[in-house]
Structure 1
Amino acid sequence: MQVRVQREDFDLSTEIAELRAGQRDIGAVLAFVGTVREMNGAGAVSHMELEHYPGMTEAALKAIAIEASQRWSITDILVIHRIGSLQACDQIVLTAVAARHRGEAFAACEFVMDYLKTKAPFWKKETTERGAQWVEARASDEASLAKWHTTA
């Protein structure tokens, strides 16, 4: 299990290869890559600033990954979240889950992203032609999180 918060971009192929290295019982690898939207409700996004609380953020991501590994039979998990100034279409986050079976990988990956969106201490500020503003939490993110409270 690995979690990283970093300014540098990541290479999906390299990260997946490292996740799978030496593990012969993996039957599925599921990866989710989140990117900076080029458009939002306020217009074209020129860039986004991502801030975090060092130490607390990594601990929150690790706790989310541990919970996923306790809920599902997964082989390994990787979470990378970028911080700093990102341009439209840049990669923000990678969640990759390796498991013996695809169902476990799908569920664990979705769980990690739903929790990450609502529970990890990140703050996003988007800049559009209207200026800069902090991104508010969305009701749909909370609704996605709620389903895990009734699912084991």
Structure 2
Amino acid sequence: MALGALVLSGAPAPAQDTGEQAPPAAEVRAEIAEAMDAVADYSAEERDAALERAREGLDRLDAAIARREQAMRESWADMSDAARDTARERLADLRAARNRLGERYGALEAGTRSAWGELKSGFADAWDAVSDAWAASETDSTGDAAAD
């Protein structure tokens, strides 16, 4: 089975289950990207707002990764050994990139106003790595993008 089952379902996290149809994975990803990219637009004086926006994006990202992990567990028996290895690697890469982004968030939170520009740059670079890992995890073992 291709890694299509690993695509973010866009379903709300269990605690947020409203019974409504979940947005497509691409929409979820775009919303998270918008929140993360917005941090670059905040000045040092708007640090608290930037941190709040980034925290919201991190929370959504964590929920999306959890959904991806759940989808992998649910489809594990139907996956070939090669697909399992690929899925495991790509999920590990995504998780590692998310951890680096969390570290950069911590630096933003603890940093001084005078270092704000440099800290934002580091955060943006870490977000780019997450975005790249996310995109890679949405392709199957043949390199084709997985369907929503």
Higher-RCO chain (CA-CA 8 Å, sequence separation at least 6) = 2
**Please, what TM-score do these two structures have when normalized by structure 1?**
0.29
Of Structure 1 and Structure 2, which has the larger fraction of its residues in strand?
Answer: 1
Of Structure 1 and Structure 2, which has the larger fraction of its residues in helix?
Answer: 2
